[in-house]
Homo-oligomer: A and B are copies of this chain.
Amino acid sequence: MSSEDSWLHTDIGGSTADSITLRGRDLARDLMGKVSFSELAFLLVVRRLPTAGELGLLDAVLVSLTDHGLTPTVLAARLTHTGAPESLQGAIAAGLLGGGSVYLGPTEDTARFLSDVLAGVPGAPPSDGALEEAASAAVRARIAAGERVPGLGHPIHKVVDPRVPRLYAIAEEGGLLGPHLCLLRAVAEAHAAQTGRRLPVNGAGAAGAALADLGVPPSLARGFALLARTAGLVAHLGEEMEHPLGPRLYAEIDDRVRRAAPPASAD
């Protein structure tokens, strides 16, 4: 390599004729059979192996985000498969493309929000009082600006999002109730106190807080949500191959549109 090629490299992985290396570890000797897929994902992003507790929390986060039934992203993937059944990667890509600001964004938004607030909180770790104070100020600022508070509220799980208490319990058992998860709980309390309306912490928000506590940069929190979602999409496309929804859905929509009045003859 000429010295000017120093920019053209990756610390993630590489191979020679008889070995493959990921993050400095030999793939066949040190990783296959020794680490789980989730451990490897953590290693690649965080650059060290997780502890057993961290791995448990990471798996719980991924499990919580994998699938939510016939969501818009799943429907987009299935309808894409209808037109291009030969391209599984195209249908999965279509499904992931809906993982933007509305559906997977809240995971990232919550991680960023909490991380930004924590940057201004003294103490390592910060005291409960410091977190409460910071939460109160951050919620007040959001409300004053007319902005939603990330991580709170869910259209279906209006009282409790069942994933959230479970994720907090898993974090607590592992001694991993870190500042992001604690701050998020304080944010929910501050929001209830200031508005008189209690919104539950939502699953996406708790997942974002947990990922941040695990050392995942907020800018990659959405990446773990997309990873989880990919597994759900594979399963949905397998079901679509056996029991196709896409053509039935299209036929029904086409029929309903057709039975409606025809478009006006001019516009």
Contact = CB atoms under 8 A, between A and B. Distances in A.
Contacts of A13: 67-69, 232, 263
Contacts of A63: 27, 31-32, 35-37, 40
A5 interface: yes
Contacts of A237: 220, 223
B70 A10 contact: yes
A59 B69 CA distance: 25
B85 A90 contact: no
A199 interface: no
Given A14-B69, A59-B37, A220-B238, A102 B75 contact: no
Contacts of A260: 1, 5-6, 8-9
Nearest to A74: B10
B82 A79 contact: no
Contact of A89 (B19, B169, B222): B222
Interface residues of A, number: 137
A37 B39 CA distance: 10
Interface stretch (A110-118, A120-128, A183-191, A249-257): A249-257
Nearest to A11: B263
A246 interface: yes
Contacts of A102: 82-85
Interface string A68-110: 1111111111011111111111111110111111111000000
A22 B68 CA distance: 8
Interface string A229-263: 01111111111010101111110011011111111
